[in-house]
A = this chain, B = another copy of it.
Amino acid sequence: MSTEVKSDLYKEAGVDIDLAQNLLKSVKEKISSTRRPEMLAPIGGFGGMFQIDLKKYKNPILVSSIDGVGTKLMVAMMMEKYDTVGHDIVNHCIDDIAVQGAEPVFFMDYIGIGKLRSPLYEQVLEGIADACKAANCAVLGGETAEMPGMYGNDFDLVGVISGMVDKDKLITGEKIKAGYAAIGLASSGLHTNGFSLARKVLFDQCGYDVHSTPEELGGESVGEALLKPHTCYWPAIKEALDSEEIDLDGMAHITGGGLYDNVPRILPEDLDVVFDKNALPVLPIFKLIVEKGAIDPVEAYRVFNMGIGMVWFVPAEQADAAIKICADAGFDAAVCGKVLPGNRKVTVN
Give this chain's copy count.
2
> Which residues of the other chain, B, contact A52 by a CB distance below 8 angstroms?
52, 57, 60-62
> Which residues of the other chain, B, contact A73 by a CB distance below 8 angstroms?
150
> Are B65 and A61 interface neighbours, CB within 8 A?
no
> Are A62 and B64 interface neighbours, CB within 8 A?
no
> Are B65 and A141 interface neighbours, CB within 8 A?
yes
Given known A43-B170, A66-B108, A68-B145, contact A54–B59 (CB-CB < 8 A): yes
A253 lies within 8 A of chain B by Cβ: yes
A272 lies within 8 A of chain B by Cβ: no
> Which residues of the other chain, B, contact A109 by a CB distance below 8 angstroms?
66
- Beta-carbon contacts under 8 Å, A123-172 to B: 140-143, 145, 147, 149-151, 154, 156, 158, 160-163, 167, 170-172
Q: Roughly how many angstroms separate A162 CA and B51 CA in the complex, as a whole number?
A: 13
Interface size class of A (residues with CB under 8 A): 35 or more
SS of A interface (majority): mixed
A47 lies within 8 A of chain B by Cβ: yes
Segment of A2-10, A19-27, A179-187 engaged in the interface with chain B? A2-10
- Beta-carbon contacts under 8 Å, A35-77 to B: 40, 43-52, 54, 57, 59-68, 70-71, 73-74
> Are B43 and A266 interface neighbours, CB within 8 A?
yes
> Are B167 and A51 interface neighbours, CB within 8 A?
yes
Question: Hey, which bits of chain A sit against chain B, CB under 8 A?
Answer: 6-10, 13, 40, 43-52, 54, 57, 59-68, 70-71, 73-74, 96-97, 99-100, 102, 106, 108-110, 112, 140-143, 145, 147, 149-151, 154, 156, 158, 160-163, 167, 170-173, 193-197, 200, 252-253, 255-256, 262, 265-266, 299, 303
